[in-house]
A = this chain, B = another copy of it.
């Protein structure tokens, strides 16, 4: 495959399109778009999200020590994008987008009501990376859209309809088709056992 060099940059995908919900001590809740977010450990379950140190959300997380990371359904792509463009310092993103929040399992945590997958996190530590702070949070609870649990042991991914971000290309995409089952499809390539 012929390739071209892009240099030292941050073009990488697919990434999750998420909204981080945080609040300050006065109770003012903020929404921030984040695509540099993901699971980083299961001992204990830990979520990482990278934010510019100047963001209101970063100040909120340091102030209260709690935040949530919320998957964005594809139908809210425009609202989520607004939350990446505007600053919580001078904009009421809830008023502009119509998005709403609800309480999490922890009283201090607010979750995006319109999200089918909310990850409730307690700030644990951070890594300084130039202008960014890689915030690590212990996952205390995950909430998933009930309608996705179609029958015992089976979950319908389409009910989540998660928005995918293509970093570098600056595009939001929907999911297409299921391609394979993980931890199973690859077994077909293993040699048959002799015993």
Docked complex Cα distance between A131 and B45 (Å):
11
Taking CB atoms, residues of chain B closer than 8 Å to A83 are 186
Taking CB atoms, residues of chain B closer than 8 Å to A36 are 38-40
Does B167 contact A39, Cβ atoms closer than 8 Å?
Answer: yes
Kindly provide the distance from the CB of A8 to the nearest chain B CB, expressed in whole angstroms.
5
Most buried by B among A1, A44, A77, A83: A1
Does B132 contact A180, Cβ atoms closer than 8 Å?
Answer: no
User: Of all chain B residues, which has the CB nearest A4?
Assistant: B146
Mask of A150-187 contacts with B, CB within 8 angstroms, 1/0: 00000101001011111101111111111111111111
Interface residue total, chain A, C-beta cutoff 8 A: 103
**A80 adjacent to chain B (CB < 8 Å):** yes
Does B9 contact A142, Cβ atoms closer than 8 Å?
Answer: yes
From B44, B146, B173, B187, give the contact of A175 (CB < 8 A).
B173
**A193 adjacent to chain B (CB < 8 Å):** no
Does A1 contact B116, Cβ atoms closer than 8 Å?
Answer: yes
Taking CB atoms, residues of chain B closer than 8 Å to A43 are 129-132
**A101 adjacent to chain B (CB < 8 Å):** no
**A86 adjacent to chain B (CB < 8 Å):** yes
Does B179 contact A13, Cβ atoms closer than 8 Å?
Answer: no
Does B178 contact A1, Cβ atoms closer than 8 Å?
Answer: no
Does A142 contact B77, Cβ atoms closer than 8 Å?
Answer: no
User: Of all chain B residues, which has the CB nearest A166?
Assistant: B157
Does A9 contact B45, Cβ atoms closer than 8 Å?
Answer: yes
